[in-house]
Amino acid sequence: MSFKDTLFSVKRTLNCGSAVIDFKQPRVMGILNITPDSFYDGGRYMNKKDILLRTGKMLEEGADMIDVGAYSSRPGAAHISAEEEKRRLAGALEALRKVHPGIVISVDTFRADVASFAVNEFNVNIINDISSGMMDPEMIPVVASLRVPYIMMHMQGTPQNMQVNPVYQDVTKEVLSFFAERLRKAVDEGLNDIIVDPGFGFGKSLDDNYKMLRELDLFRVLGCPVMVGLSRKSMIYKFLKLTPEEALNGTTSLHTLALQNGASILRVHDVKEAIQTIRLWSQYQNAGK
């Protein structure tokens, strides 16, 4: 299959090994940060007990996938080695697979060797890469060889410098062009299950973020399910002059707009509220039909 064949026909299922996720309705990915310095929940889930409690709660509330991140990608985050990233992941993934063996787990990493480690050692189902293979040129061919779905996100720069004066002529057009090139490479490498994430807050100004959200339906041209990561981000709390802890209502508002504009996956800290948002939006969409 060529890249051209994927255009305009949005993929409706995701093959996650023993599980197949369909997108008849939007799905929820619960965030599990096992880092000491994430912008909202850094340091809360650093031992197995807290990791399992957090995961159990998200699953009980209806999460379809759990995204485990051991490398903080907040603006200005400290860089850690691949060995430290693997060390953090190993304890968490071992515990999750022991207690919840059948759940769909995504690992948030930009490193090919970490992706291989997570899939081969812990049967991780999805790789979520904030750089779409730009930070590690081996990532796309390695994920293709692992035969797992791949989430590719757009980011201008790196976590350490991405918010230092990001500039676009037209952010939506430029992000779409970026994905067209990266998708072509991924499809040529043999990747079939791909999700795109526009990367809200990753090298974008406030206006850039809201322009992309308003124009999110244009991303359907790529032929891939679209994931959005809006949860409690600075585009909400800084604009409203709040803290991340106070940004749940704003998050829900933007989730509704994202759903209306074609989002297939909400990546969230607050699963229960995201599920409720999807249910209400679905009822609104289907009323009277």
Q: Report whether 172 contacts 211 (CB < 8 A).
A: yes
pLDDT band of residue 11 (cuts 50, 70, 90) is confident
User: CATH assignment of 24-286?
Assistant: 3.20.20.20
Place of tokens 């996956």: 265
**Which of 267, 272, 279, 289 is labelled catalytic?**
267
pLDDT band of residue 3 (cuts 50, 70, 90) is very low
pLDDT at 39: 46
Closest CA to 5 of 140, 183, 178, 217: 183
Could you read off the pLDDT of 125-138 as tens digits, one per residue?
999 999 999 999 99
Where in the chain are the domains? 24-286
Whole-angstrom Cα distance, residue 200 to residue 209?
Answer: 6
Mean pLDDT of 12-17: 86
Could you read off the pLDDT of 53-95 as tens digits, one per residue?
999 999 999 999 999 999 877 666 677 899 999 999 999 999 9
Find how far residue 191's CA is from the centre of its chain.
17
pLDDT band of residue 40 (cuts 50, 70, 90) is very low
Could you read off the pLDDT of 191-242 as tens digits, one per residue?
989 999 999 999 999 999 999 999 999 999 999 999 999 999 999 999 999 9
Give the type of residue at 278: I
Active site residue 267: yes
pLDDT at 287: 92
pLDDT at 156: 85
Q: Are strands 105-108 and 65-69 parallel, antiparallel or unpaired?
A: parallel
**Residue 137 — φ and ψ, nearest 5°?**
-65, -15
Report the sign of the C-alpha dihedral through residues 31, 152, 172, 278, in that order: negative
Beta-strand runs (E) in 70-215: 105-108, 126-129, 150-153, 194-197
Q: Is the pLDDT of residue 279 over 80?
A: yes
What is the 3-class SS of 221-252, one letter each residue?
HHCCCEEECCCCCHHHHCCCCCCHHHCHHHHH
Q: Report whether 130 contacts 151 (CB < 8 A).
A: no
**Which of 48, 74, 233, 272 is labelled catalytic?**
233
Q: pTM value?
A: 0.91
